[in-house]
Amino acid sequence: MKFNDHFLSKLKTAQKVVFFTGAGISAESGISTFRGKDGIWNKLKPEELASFDAFMRNPKLVWEWYQYRRKIAHDTKPNLGHEAIKQFEKLVDEVTVVTQNVDNLHNRAGSKNVLELHGNIERNYCTDCRTFFSPDEISKLENESGSESPRCSKCSGLIRPDVVWFGEFLPQDVFSEAERKASGCDICFVVGTSAIVYPAAYIPITARQSGAFIVEVNIESTEMTRIADESFFGKAGEVLPKIVEKAKEIRIN
């Protein structure tokens, strides 16, 4: 894998790095993407399963679907791409992961500063009183509810996954912090995402407008390619470890 001098110069001196990640990096762990020929939404209508209205119409169906997705995520392991991002923490002063994924794999890989724009599928909260429940508490409530979706032990409200559904806003505090990190980074890696879903896609644009060096890591050309300073086409689990090794070499010597 070849690296140009401009990228190597940035890699050697960078102190603040942002990784903006999407479904592509999780796909390498076996979690289906939302788009593409094998995408989840090609088989199911998102408005039937991933909206608040759908949940209120049929909470049992939506809950069972998300429990199925939770099991997939829980049984999946972080891949070499996730681990390489974690390794960057040993090389630069500050690494921030801004992810569109809800699978919790970055946290499980050990990344310390993860901003989840679309929530986390392993968390759940009451739609009425917003009490959060641990996985163990959810299991107990599921047993108590029988065949129905679980309800809050405090107010009997429906419990939903802590994910951003279609038609909902991103958590403003998380998005604002992501924008702040993007505006102050030296390099922004765009990994496993075509960056076409807004407002999340503003993150690499903010980084670019603030003077950051943009590095794209995707299996093929995307909308990001035209604004990226450097593009590497391949799997994150193959490309990122090579970048980490190169960073170790040039930063230590």
Q: Quick one: angle between helices 80-87 and 236-252, nearest 10? A: 20
User: How many CB atoms lie under 10 A from the CB of residue 248?
Assistant: 14
Q: Which of 90, 69, 66, 79 is nearest to 28 (CA)?
A: 79
Rg (CA), the chain: 19
Angle at which helices 172-183 and 202-209 cross, to 10°: 30
Q: Which residues contact 57 (CB under 8 A, 6 or more apart)?
A: none
205: tokens are: 């644009």
118 is an active site residue: yes
Residues in the chain: 253
Active centre residues (catalytic)? 118
